[in-house]
Amino acid sequence: MIKRSVIFFDIDGTLLNHEKQLPISTKEAIFTLKEQGHEVAIATGRAPFMFEDLRNELGIHTFVSYNGQYVVLNGEVLYSNPLNISSLEALTAFALHNNHPVVFMDHEDMKANVPEHPYIKTSIETLKISRFPTYDPHYYKGRELYQSLLFCLEGEERQYEQKFQDFDFVRWHPFSVDIVPKGGSKAKGIERIVEKLGFQQEQQYAFGDGLNDLEMLATVKNSVAMGNAEDTVKKAAKYITKSVEENGVFHGLQMVGLL
């Protein structure tokens, strides 16, 4: 009898290939895991509304979203860690001065502080989602935001890192970085779930490929980096599987003995 485990999967570059498609082998592997009694969860930088269709397709109701800031267990919110709004307001004013747009994000929607900008259009389009941020420069007022997006070129985020100590900045696109609470990560969100469900370290697995997966792969005992991951990400993982284009999730699950 296979010992019950919990497996966390990143989305972009892990579950979904670079065309944002779910490989058949990955879908079949997920359903096999569930049939065997394992707990299957998602750990992503995306907002909950950006992967609702994927959750429904795979029948997954437990997830870590916003890089650990909004955690749901079996359809119920388990943990949330909102941004410091006064610091975000100051950052937004500084970003406007630099002509760097900001997108505000809560668990339901995302709004931009400028009517339009090519950096927003180009980067959001790569996610291949149906929703696009509309204009509301005051969306941050009176609500909890779990992540924001700062749009700037690589290296330009350094000035924000020095000036705004309440936040961490994680690049996900040449034109954009995630803004998350200081110390927030997928690993912290995963901790909340495994503590609640009672899984031991040996029963915990995680698959990822991006820079926002570093803490997760370094923390989860049985971590697997995708073959398409950067070298720094691969070094953080215990195992390295094939790329997402080569059925990497399926082969990785075989490698660690879950399939």
Active site positions, annotated? 10
* CA 112 to mean position of chain CA atoms: 20
CB distance 223 to 238 below 8 Å: yes
When computed from its CA atoms, the radius of gyration of the chain, rounded to whole angstroms, is 18
Stated as kind and residue range, the H or E segment containing 161 is helix 158-163
* 3-class SS of residue 179: strand
Please state, in angstroms and rounded to a whole number, the distance separating the CA atoms of residues 257 and 202. 12
Edge-to-edge strand order for the sheet containing 147-151? Answer: 134-135, 110-112, 102-105, 147-151, 176-181, 167-173
Using alpha carbons only, give the angle 205, 238, 64 rounded to the nearest 5 degrees. Answer: 35
